[in-house]
Structure 1
């Protein structure tokens, strides 16, 4: 596959995945196309060497793997399906000066200012009663622009360019339409109408939902020399796609190759589907067993946690340690933190650098300024749950947690090939 084809497939994945539910559904479709078999957590499993399997939880997290020899351990790649966004509240209806708005809750560390003046749509999952009074669920995506958060004109806020604070309760409820005099609107009725329009005529009553607003502008290759990919949710669907592509292009070997994409990373990962929850461990126990068997398997295993890294911004270069300032299109970034905000150690970093030397891939390092707080990701959390050697890795990006982020057109394509080499490792060098 060429770099151009890879990036076009990536763009299609990003556009098809406005929520974690849609991202997992898109990944499931691709896995099924290549022969992966679904597993159900509520049933017993019969795993065979050479088999290809996947299992989902809550429709928002997924583990997919090719089954190798149990004594070889696993080569695992991790990412997360969620992104900072605006979620619709349970009783969201707002009627202000004849405008119908929806109250929203901020999910994760959203960079709020870029959400103003964007063409927004709505997507997620809806729970409803059908005409047999059975509870059903359905993914929904309005796709078209249905809302906007207009900025306040500069004439009414002359100091806006010298300092703008956004109040998430009062400043960001999106406007959906104008109301007639004394008109009352039930948001759940609007959802019912949309479900029926989409062909779900059995919907009698919408009970609950998990819905998020998103920017309708398509992901795109941009720049005068096509150097960049601009899109919403690059953090962390970019890594989900790279991990998926690597797994799908990995030829079966003696070693189990596994991809895990967890939900709820942006809000701490403590949930049934998060990296600090039991999902991945429960899958590994079914592969290797519990107790000593799992401990021995994890000692022979390694995880590469792939999340985005902060590329050095030319307008804000002072925010970086000058010796650890990753550039877009200069390779994946090994993320290091002495206080264990990242799980990288000398063993896992050396192994990855060796893989890059073998494949000719570029590699960079990121360490925060010593006077700046460091973020974290699923790496330390998963390592803490499993006791597995872990490398925290990321693709350099700009605008992390904005409604539209920026990455390089070369980095994801190159990382995919390196991860395929990682999946093929029959033995980890530090075990020899």
Structure 2
């Protein structure tokens, strides 16, 4: 397939100092939501640059072996599709369900190639501020450009922007195994024996086959990991699998089953329920991990019980946002979920599944720092109810506002499947 480079007008290198007449928008994170922002900026002919600390869609590559539970129609942005159609791209069957690898190869990689001149890989944002100001200074604040300090392979780089869209997500910043979500030194010291993602068991058999493995977590991530281990156990029967949850009853983790509007998501719950009934895994619930220690593996402790020892842990307890590089910006996060404050009551996982989250856009995502937005799964903080389609509508609205199209920015619409918990283990994005 031949790729014709599509780029916004007036685009320039913001590190050269030659962008003052038309400063670009800075998009941070070249995952699905960041690339969608780039697509909408391109359609609106707004100059932009996209910064990625690793390679494009690096997080997706870590779970490319995982099958999403939502079909293609929920995993592609409309602006991205329109740009791809212009170069002869063939869209996948919207009703089929992709793996992470298929999402990467069939959509994200060709989309990213359209923005090649504007994407800076291996560029990690260390800090953002207003040019010449710290967060305490108010006078003429909104008229000053953003200044991004970016670590690159060739050293520190300073880049200016008129607006910043943070689409860095939460993947890669996991919650710990300890049940009160505090990182202890002992857990960090045991890091070589712990996976904080859905491991590719099939290609790393030596780590899991005929070993004693514990999976910690009560969401779809944990269920995916458990099902992979059960499959491995068919050929390596001495593999021991233990599921550790905080829930009062294991049935609470099974989800919507046949009532789930996303059939693949419901199927996960049905499969793990069957495995539990057949005794293929041992269940420890409720088990509150208070500490762990190394003793012929990993020993897990609660106030009432000791589990000993495991050769390896798979910790699928969700992720949390990283706000370190926001310190000199005026931003807010809700006290409980760490979500963008206006979103918190809309996405509370105690009240909402991903399908019952109402449509929202630029208005709800506004920060005290004008033209600074946190979007995608990071806008949800620690809430696991995020779907990619939600993030796509967020950035469509934000970019419309930056383009001066306030009517389009306010006209937010979103139709999502209902029922069940939405965190799949693929970064809450599927």
Instruction: Compute the TM-score of the two structures, normalised by the length of structure 2.
Output: 0.28
Instruction: Compute the TM-score of the two structures, normalised by the length of structure 1.
Output: 0.28
